[in-house]
Every structure is written in structure tokens, then in C-alpha cells.
A = this chain, B = another copy of it.
Amino acid sequence: MQDIRDYIESQRNAFEDDLCHLLAIPSVSADSKHRSDVRRAAEWVATRFRELGLQSEIVNTSGQPLVLAESPDVPGAPTVLVYGHYDVQPPDPLSEWITPPFEPTRRDGNIYARGSTDDKGQFLTHVFSTQAWLATRRSLPLKLKFLIEGEEEVGSQGVNEFLEDPASRRRLACDVAVISDTCQFAAGQPAITYGLRGIAYFELRLSGPRQDLHSGTFGGGVTNPANALCKMLSSLIDGQGRIQVPGFYDNVLALSDRERQQFAALPFDERDFMGQIGVEGLSGEASYSTLERRWARPTFDINGIWSGYQGEGAKTVLPARATAKFSFRLVPNQDPHKVAASLATHLRSVCPPGIQMELIDMHGATGVVVPLDSPYMAAASRAIESGFGKAPVYIREGGSIPIVTRFKTSLGVDTLLLGWGLNDDNAHSPNEKFCLADFHRGIQASARLWAELAECKV
């Protein structure tokens, strides 16, 4: 495969420039004022596929469009579905970015931009590896299908609707799926992620008096929605980090002793980790290590909260309203619908007099673990060793990629989670970045992956 390797080396600058073009499009799916930007990103991706000579189509959904593409059939070789997403998280707080989020900037061997690692930079490695095969060999050793969506950051409604349709499922039929939207274990230590957490995301809106009141004249007599919100949210978790929603832990897949041993054997230094994120201590569910808590235990996190006066000085107001966004990370076998139902019952039971509550179930997904002993997993391990010069370790990750569960239930396939990112890439944070060396190693690993997977019996 030296010809393909050489081609990829020769295109370093061109690949980086192409990546920058896509990163410059502010395709923020959570914000309706970026709707046309999201569309523009979809069109950019579809155009890219057509330039490679692949069949490509933009499929409109009730939300953001899907980009589909596929290469010709290769009899006897497996069909691989590559999934990625061209939408990105909102970039705020904008003031904390060193360079603007949608002006991609090369610095210290990284490319800085919103979406650089999550997921534009990562999914493009598979597009560019395909380009390398087609440019040097004129064909691929297996059949590739691409599904690149635009609502991953807001719940993937469009792709879920698409997968409801049997014709769509036939169209995406495959033997295994590949996603690069996770992290390596550490810089210089690639990994294959075999487990992901699910999520159940909510917004809780409390309203009390018709309008803001004077906290002197009314305080003590009237239920304060901000007080109520803090109490209600605090009731969801105890001082030991155990979630208090009734039945929450009923179906939690426990960590096996072997997994706990494997996690403990990984070169994870808690002091380094604290230094990296800038804290002097950690906390979470009692009796679990930091890696266990991040990868394989459910959590409760407030993602946003607001009420009352946020300006300068002291305003003695009893706010009329209080709102929070919060989410539970789920582990395999927990059902987000059951969590939502139990949560709603619990919150209603603790909502005090004089407060109206509205609980919005924003999106949910189950957690997943994929088998470690498949031939596809072995093929992926060899490809990564070839691209990165080091064999991967097997890890789990705390984030949620609901589509992995969806592929299992809708298409009957497992997913290879081959992450080229790093934990300090600032995904979802200011100054998101992607290591350019990993970008190029990812393209090499992907090109090798097509060869390795082509050898798997179907």
C-alpha cells in the first residue's frame, strides 16, 4: 500500500485546506439562525463526494439534511457504513476563544476551530482515505456507504426518522459501521472505544408569580422559583453522587471485575488529569475510580441554569421564573424513556406550592457496549497500528453516540469506534482543536482499514 501512503503524504496541505473550508462554515444545529449555514455544510460535503466520483445525495428530513454517498459494489467483500456529522456545538462563550471559532487557525501543530475534532476533522479522514484509494487504484477493495448527518448535537431526529423507513434501512444495509468521533486514550496511545454512555437531556421550567416581585415585601410569603429549582435539582443527587430518581439504577450494567482491572492498568495519572483541566480536586459517585465514573457509571450534570438578576450590583428581586437544562449520562441497559417518566413523577412530587413546572424531554439515547472479539475489531486494531505506529488499547467513553445503538437495532450491525481525537481537544468548549498529525495518521489508518476489512469473510 506504499502508493496510497505516498499519495496521502503528498496531499497533506490540500487535505488541511479542504478541512479548513468545511470548518469555516458555522453549522450550529442548536441555533435556528444558523439554519442556512447547516445546509451549506451539507452541500459542501455532498459536493466533495461527487468530486470523488461517488454517488451522492442530500436527503431532506424534518430537521437538517442527511448526506448519503456510496461506492460501487465489490462482490465477496464486506460493505462498510461510515457515519459522521457535519453539525457542531454552539461556540459560546465566544469571549474565551483565542481565535474565532469559525476562522480555522493552525497553531502549535493543531487546527483550532469549532468542529475540528467533533466531528468534521475526524469524519473527513475517511473521505480523504477514500480519495487516496480512488486516486491511486481507481477503485476501493470493498463497498463503502457514507451517512453524514447534521443533527448529532441536538438528538439526530432526522436520521432517526430516516431509519424508520424500511427502504432507507435497505439502502444503508452493511456488515459493519465505522465512526470516528471519539478520543485516543492519550497523545501517542490510540484506542478503540468499545462502550459509550447514553443520555437523557431535559429542560425544567419553573414559574411562580406573574412577574418579578420585591424580595423584601414578598420574600418568605411567596415560593421563590429559583429556590425551588435549586432544591428540586439538588433532590436528584445525594452527597455521595448517587442519583435519587426512583428506579434509576435498576437496570444499570455493572462494571465487570475484568473491566475494572483493565481500567486500573491504563496509564492514567489523576494529578495530570486535574492539572489538564485546572482543578485541585475531583468528586463523583462514591466507590468508583475517576475513569470508571467518566466511562461506565451514570451521572447527573446541570448544563445550564438561569433565573432573576444577572447584572452588576444587588437587585432585591424574587424572580418570577427559573429554568435549568440538565442531563443524565446513562450506561447500557438503562432506558432513557423510563428515566424520563420516573424523573417527571419525582419532580412533580417535590415541586412546592405556588410553582408551575414544565419538564421538556429534549433527547435520549441508550448506552452501548460492542463485542471485542469480532474479526472487524481485529482488522481495525491492525489498521490503527499501521497508521499510528502503536497498537490501540480498548477503552470506554463517557460521551453519547446514540446512532451506535440505532445501527444495532435498525441495521443489525456493530460499530467500530475509531477515535482520532484527544481528551484535551476542547470538544463542546472554547478553543476546540484537532492535532494535525493525528488528522494525517487518521487518514493513513483509514486507508489501511479498507484493506484490512476487505479481508474479513462476509
CA distance A215 to B363 in the complex (A): 15
CA distance A311 to B352 in the complex (A): 26
- The residue of chain B having its C-beta at the shortest distance from the C-beta of A431 within the complex is B211
Contact with B along A328-357 (1 / 0, CB 8 A): 010000000000000000000000111110
Answer yes or no: A226 CB below 8 A from chain B CBs: yes
> A427 to chain B: which residues have CB within 8 Å?
214, 217
- The residue of chain B having its C-beta at the shortest distance from the C-beta of A31 within the complex is B312
Given contacts A210-B278, A227-B237, A429-B211, contact A216 B30 (CB under 8 A): no
Are A277 and B209 within 8 A (Cβ)? Answer: yes
Are B281 and A223 within 8 A (Cβ)? Answer: yes
Are B210 and A155 within 8 A (Cβ)? Answer: no
> A213 to chain B: which residues have CB within 8 Å?
277, 428-429
Q: How far is the CB of A92 from chain B (nearest CB, A)?
A: 7
Are B220 and A284 within 8 A (Cβ)? Answer: yes
Q: How far is the CB of A427 from chain B (nearest CB, A)?
A: 5
Among B212, B283, B325, B428, which residue has its beta carbon within 8 angstroms of that of A354? B283
- The residue of chain B having its C-beta at the shortest distance from the C-beta of A155 within the complex is B314
> A129 to chain B: which residues have CB within 8 Å?
none
Answer yes or no: A122 CB below 8 A from chain B CBs: no
CA distance A219 to B284 in the complex (A): 9
Are B220 and A293 within 8 A (Cβ)? Answer: yes
> A322 to chain B: which residues have CB within 8 Å?
305
Residue among A277, A280, A282 with the most chain B CB within 10 A?
A: A277
Are B428 and A362 within 8 A (Cβ)? Answer: no
Answer yes or no: A125 CB below 8 A from chain B CBs: no
Are B31 and A311 within 8 A (Cβ)? Answer: yes
Answer yes or no: A208 CB below 8 A from chain B CBs: yes
Given contacts A209-B278, A397-B217, contact A428 B312 (CB under 8 A): no
Q: How far is the CB of A247 from chain B (nearest CB, A)?
A: 19
Pairs across A and B, CB under 8 Å, 12 listed: A89-B316, A90-B315, A211-B278, A211-B426, A211-B430, A215-B329, A220-B294, A220-B398, A281-B352, A281-B355, A303-B317, A305-B306
Q: Known pairs A203-B314, A212-B429, A280-B353. 6 more at Cβ < 8 A?
A: A215-B303, A220-B285, A221-B293, A224-B301, A303-B316, A305-B306
